Amino acid sequence: MRDLTKGNEARQILLFSLPMLLGNVFQQLYNMVDSVVVGNYVGKRALAAVGQSFPVLFVSLALVMGFGMASNVLIAQNRGARNNDRVRLIIDTTVVVMAAFAGVVTLFGVLLAPFILSLIGTPVDVLPDATLYLRIIFAGSLPLFGYNGVSAIQRGLGDSKTPLYALMVSTLVNIVLDVVFVVIFHWGVAGVGVATVIAQTVSLVWTLRYLGKQSPELRIKIRGIRADREILREIVRIGLPSGIQQALVGAGMMALTSVVNRFGSNASAAYAAAGKLDSFAVMPAINISMAISTFTGQNLGAGRRDRVSRGLLSGLAMALAITVTISLVLYFFGDRCVGLFTRDAEVVRIGFEYLRIVSLAYFVQTAMFSVLGVIRGAGEALVPMANTLLAMWVVRIPLAFFLAPRMGTAGIWWSIDAGFLVGATASILYYLFGPWGRRDLTGKRA
């Protein structure tokens, strides 16, 4: 477990974020393999089907991601304050919350999958495969939510390596099972869905095992587990706005998908393929932002606010170095990257168009993520939510609906850039002039 309240800020953030960055590579490989396999061995409609499911799944994960972030912040600050008894209660409460949501999402997700996909205008020729894939993934909500919850706990404790190891193992399992179920058994999209659920189960078991091994006093035990009301209120206070923020992002992705679907299955498949590459490009910045959040939480908990601004600058510099490199690759060679998913020339053309436009805003997106990492680490959850509402729903979505009939798919992609520019500007202004960092989350009273 890493103590981020001491030592060189840049070195601490680098060492803490490096496992998450490597984990990001495996996480994206995990997600991309499904699309690569179905795109090459089943067809572009199957590729589109997997792509249609992603924004729906993202919305279902929204509250889990928000509550995971809340637990991360609470654990980090109490770990920094050496308040270990409270850390134990936070972990128990987190497990109860995650399990409850997994049950709800499994039930409603399996039942409502076809309705949700129809709502976003999924092309008729894609709908059967998309429904099947989505139902299988929803049925595996427990291991998916469980892994996200335990990983958030471990990062709050200063351990970013165990989630990486879990991802490495589960990614290898996913790749092998994708090939077996799709290429050998010819199960189609059902094969990649089942492979994903099995791999997620492996990652959950791995993280649970090592949490108990590294910190026996924090071992998750079902017998005697209880949710603390005060901590639950704090998780809801911090996590609900963060969850709503993620839900707004996911709903925005669904809205954009519905606009893209108006241009047919070629555009849907291109959006699915390019979207996987896009996620690969921006996730390093997101993971460094998560490291900045933990760094901020621990240092604020220890009363070391002076380290926070230096940590932000160090993390931002690292994130920009990675993001700019990836941006250049996708801008000039994006067509070859999209070609990994499909051999269809029209799908490749539309996907390359997406990458050339959206990659122009990656550095702006990186700045926004890094600054919001500090704000989240300080426990200010409403600000990121408001920022997302502004960027996604005031700028991006209305602009996409306006530009698409006039510019085609390119208009949708330009609306994404515009949203990030506005969001980055707003977040930086709040960091410079807003009242963040004044809330005490350690359970102590002055």
What is the rounded CA–CA span in Å between residue 338 and residue 354?
Answer: 10
Q: What is the largest CA-CA distance in the chain?
A: 65
Check if the beta carbon of residue 191 is closer than 8 Å to that of residue 181.
yes
- C-alpha span between 199 and 39 (Å, rounded): 20
Lowest mean pLDDT among 193-197, 291-295, 344-348: 291-295
pLDDT of residue 302: 77
Amino acid at residue number 398: P
Q: Determine how many CB atoms are found less than 10 A away from the CB of residue 402.
A: 12
- What would the pLDDT profile of 166-187 be if each residue is shown by its tens digit? 888 998 999 999 999 999 999 9
**Predicted local confidence at residue 212, as pLDDT:** 76
User: What is the number of other CB atoms lying within 10 angstroms of the CB of residue 393?
Assistant: 16
Q: pLDDT for 287-331, tens place per residue?
A: 889 889 888 888 887 778 778 888 899 999 999 998 999 999 999
Token pair of 18, please?
A: 């490096």
pLDDT at 446: 36
Token pair 């000039």 is found at 332
- Give the pLDDT confidence score for residue 443 in this predicted structure: 53
Read off the tokens for 159.
């351990």
**Which of 28-32, 73-77, 230-234, 242-246 has the weakest average pLDDT?**
28-32
More confident residue, 66 or 133: 133
The reported pLDDT for the residue numbered 204 is 92
Q: Residue 445: its pLDDT value, please?
A: 40
> Which amino acid belongs to residue 289?
S
Q: What pLDDT, on the 0 to 100 scale, is given for residue 427?
A: 94
Q: What is the mean pLDDT of the chain?
A: 87
Q: Express each pLDDT in 126-178 by its tens digit.
A: 999 999 999 999 999 999 899 988 988 888 888 878 887 888 899 899 999 99
Q: What is the pLDDT of residue 410?
A: 97
User: What does the pLDDT read at residue 442?
Assistant: 58
Structure tokens that stand for 212 in this block: 């108990």
**Over the stretch 76-120, which tens digit does the pLDDT of each residue have?**
878 777 787 888 889 999 999 889 989 999 999 999 999 999 999
For residues 61 and 252, give the distance between their C-alpha atoms in angstroms, rounded to a whole number. 14
Burial class (CB in 10 A: 0-12, 13-18, 19+), 310: middle
Q: How far apart are CA 275 and CA 338, in angstroms?
A: 10
| Torsion of the alpha carbons at 127, 110, 186 and 254, rounded to the nearest 10 | 40
- Torsion angle of C-alpha atoms 13, 16, 420, 408, degrees rounded to 10: 140
Task: Kindly state the average pLDDT of the residues 23-32.
Answer: 72
| Pairwise CA distance, residues 446 & 441, whole Å | 12
Q: Of residues 440 and 268, which shows the higher confidence score? A: 268
* Two structure tokens written together for 233: 């209120």
pLDDT at 155: 82
Phi, psi at 436, each rounded to 5°: -80, 160
- 49 Cβ neighbours under 8 A, 6+ residues apart: 38, 126, 129, 130, 133, 189
On whether the CB atoms of residues 4 and 16 are closer than 8 A, the answer is yes
| Domain range list for the chain | 9-433
Reference 285, options 155, 373, 160, 377; nearest CA is 373
Q: Cα separation of 421 and 366, whole Å?
A: 11
Query: Rounded to an integer, what distance in angstroms lies between the CA atom of residue 84 and that of residue 88?
Result: 6
The pTM (predicted TM-score) of the whole model is: 0.76
**For residue 2, what pLDDT is reported?**
64
